[in-house]
Structure 1
């Protein structure tokens, strides 16, 4: 429920907050939540902490289950890496040539470059999530030995990084928090999987209370997402975002009984089952659906986004979401099949090989995050690194008279890495 809720809210936010207009061959962008008290919404809508919590719990459960089956850490990591990176391949296959095609067809350059850049920025999440997956086994050992002290140390490191960042006035000094903050939340997922994440209202009130104090008296902005021209709590993440994340986690745990009960409803259960195998596709392609509608409505027809909160904006918002959903549907139908990577034999390589694969995929994702798919060498090198890393995770597939591709093993679907 938390994973699906988190991903749905990410998509809803990305589809709802852009303020768009087009004139003189250029598209202008703004953020609806930058107006008035819109920052208050971000204290709930910035759900990446919940996604990392759920990911930590899922990785703990998956790794321990694999260990009980006798599966080695390199083999487990190779499987997780394949499921994480394989859906990116069709995204790159479409977006690498697409800007060249659009420019050749006479589409104005600035909107094409803007869309090409933004299409890759979403991959930041996969890059840092890959780091969390790669260190799951050693971090699980630390979790068993030290429990709460592990996320506490990571949080203390995040505090030190923020002090350096804000006293020195250099945002680049905050980049270590991309690892420290998200690993701290991922580590809380281990505690949840162990049943050691208790006192939810203490977490909720303490997290939100500390976040309120930090934003009221510290150097942190009120919004938990990046706003134009302002210091960001998100890129890189800050202790304020970590505090709000702990508050969200506590609130979710406090409501756990009702959430689990809701998940048992037949209609909700079917929806969760349907969405579970399509979350990566929805995450990777929902901005492409946005670009399709923007190219028609904003660029093609010249219709600008109304002022947020006005009657025109409120009445148009449902129609806007409906158009985006219609544009997303064929993308889901076409690309959801890539949620499951091609079948391969059991991984027989060693630790060095799978770590090399992780490094290649991670560097490829980082290159696409920074450069997007804007024409140039960086996107080609990034996509090539991802493909090379994936190639290192495979082994020759073996079939047997008992269980071939059409047998039960061939039909097995594994849970999404997210």
Structure 2
């Protein structure tokens, strides 16, 4: 495996800033799959007595269990987050940055879009409540829209841990991955006796999958032969088939995701190897000019799309309940055909949202002569962010928690402040420009 210390050389640093079109294209495709899947899951039903219930239509389909085995792409998000996150951390290190500065930037880039979402949802649902919408409908909308928040909590945890995990990876990459895998299995083994341990794996599982991205960034998978990659895919899925076949874990991967378990690590191994196996073809496709242009527009706003698509879908579905618009039963073919216009309607609603709120994803502006926040402020901001997100992920989102979460996120943004300009080493020591060439940074800081 390639030694991470090669990045201390000029050639290594030049490589660290190069963009991989395959990562951009895979991330964009995965995001589309997530939006499409949620369009097939949300199905509110208005009954004759005025009550409203929701059904997860997709989860009720017998064919969905084997399909989701292939299409459960959440681990792939963390693999790609490991690749780009490690590259960003090493670039920041080369410019004199610290782990706390890395955490500050990561928190700001994820918290600011979420702050806007929570504030708008809180104001919108309160307005609906004052206009006479039944509290049950308000709670259903809040609960449905909260589904993406567990991902935000998990992704924030994994990303903020990158400086620490990169240190372990630098010293002993295979041992670090092995220890995380052992911790996952231990937590899974004890979760029956101590149920709370299941949620510890929100750290162990996603950090382990992220480590696969570290290995990919260092060329570990690239150096493996095609038979080795095929063997890794086959063996990880074989083990997955055994542990689900003997009912150690559920066969439905959606049931394994929150809290996550060993199955998600096995999927991560399979998906990382598959990504490497298909890398050349995906990279060629991602280099096509019109695809690059599409990804350049939509890819930079991935977090905005992820956070907003489900609340927009839930809100649109709730409004349709109040109209005479045809509402076929999910058992009918008309309902499934109707998912196509629903998908495009959500995409259309996302366009103005991206125009208004998408800029909150931009990299925080550096302050030329300002000091960054203290370590205490960064840690406090992290705690202030994680508490409401974990509460929502574990106990569900309420109207009160929406308002409290928006306030906590706003406080975190104030605590984190502006990003100080890193101390730059002399250019002659690096042998390369301190900033990448135009157009080569799209997937390095997301």
TM-score range, shorter chain: 0.7 to 0.9
Aligned partner of 1:220 among 249, 252, 265: 249
* Contact 2:158–2:207 (CA under 8 A) maintained in structure 1: yes
Deviation for aligned residue 1:238: 1.4
Q: What corresponds to 1:316 in structure 2?
A: 338
Residue 303 of structure 1 and its aligned partner are, at CA, apart by 4.3
CA gap of 1:315–1:361, structure 2 versus 1, over 3 A, is closer
Who is 1:177 aligned against? 201
The answer on whether the counterparts of 1:50 and 1:248 sit within 8 Å (CA) in structure 2 is yes
Aligned to 1:353: 377
Encode CA deviations 1:164-184: one digit per residue, 9 max, x unaligned. Answer: 124x3x643311111111110
SS in 1 for 2:53: strand
Q: How far apart are the structure 2 equivalents of 1:300 and 1:7?
A: 30
Q: Secondary structure at the match of 1:283?
A: helix
Instruction: Rate the CA distance shift 1:140–1:69 in 2: closer, same or farther, 3 A.
Output: same
2: distance between equivalents of 1:171 and 1:370?
A: 13
1:147 to 173, 176, 196: 173
Q: Which has the higher contact order (CA 8 A, sep 6+)?
A: 2
CA distance in 1, matches of 2:371, 2:273: 38
Distance 1:243 1:102, change over 3 A: same
CA distance in structure 1 between the aligned counterparts of 2:330 and 2:396, rounded to whole angstroms = 29
1:70-114: per-residue Cα shift (whole Å, max 9, x none)? 222222221222111111121122112222210111223222211
**Residue aligning to 2:362:** 340
Per-residue CA deviations over 1:335-363 (Å, capped at 9, x if unaligned) read 21222266352553343332222222222
| Equivalent-residue separation in structure 2 for 1:158 and 1:87 (angstroms) | 31
Instruction: Choose which of 298, 301, 307 in structure 2 pairs with 1:278.
Output: 301
Is 2:400 the counterpart of 1:380? Answer: no
Distance, in Å, in 1 between the alignment partners of 2:324 and 2:279 is 46
- Report the alpha carbon displacement of residue 393 of structure 1 after superposing the two structures with TM: 1.6
Q: Which moved more, 1:94-103 or 1:367-376?
A: 367-376
Rounded to whole Å, the distance in 1 between the matches of 2:206 and 2:382 is 18
Aligned residues: 398
Q: 2:274 aligns with which of 248, 251, 261?
A: 251
Which of residues 343, 354, 365 in structure 1 aligns to 2:389?
365
Contact 2:108 2:364 in 1 (8 A): no
Question: What is the TM-score when the length of structure 1 is the normalising length?
Answer: 0.87
Contact 1:211–1:241 (Cα < 8 Å) also in 2 = no
1:391 partnered with 2:414: yes
Describe how 1:107-118 pairs up with structure 2 within 5 A.
107-118=133-144
Alpha-carbon distance in 2 for matches of 1:222, 1:41: 11
Alpha-carbon distance between aligned partners in 1 of 2:268 and 2:63, rounded to the nearest angstrom: 20
Please give the residue correspondences for 1:200-219 in structure 2 after superposition, counting only pairs within 5 Å: 200-219=229-248
Shift in Å, 1:371: 5.7
Alignment partner of 1:300 out of 313, 323, 333: 323
TM-score by length of 2: 0.82
Unaligned runs of 5+ in 1: 226-231, 399-407
Q: What is residue 3 of structure 1 aligned with on the other side?
A: 27
- In 2: Cα distance, 1:9 partner to 1:179 partner: 25
Asked if structure 1 preserves the Cα contact closer than 8 Å seen for 2:118 and 2:405, the reply is: no
Q: Provide the rounded CA distance (Å) in 2 between the counterparts of 1:396 and 1:157.
A: 35
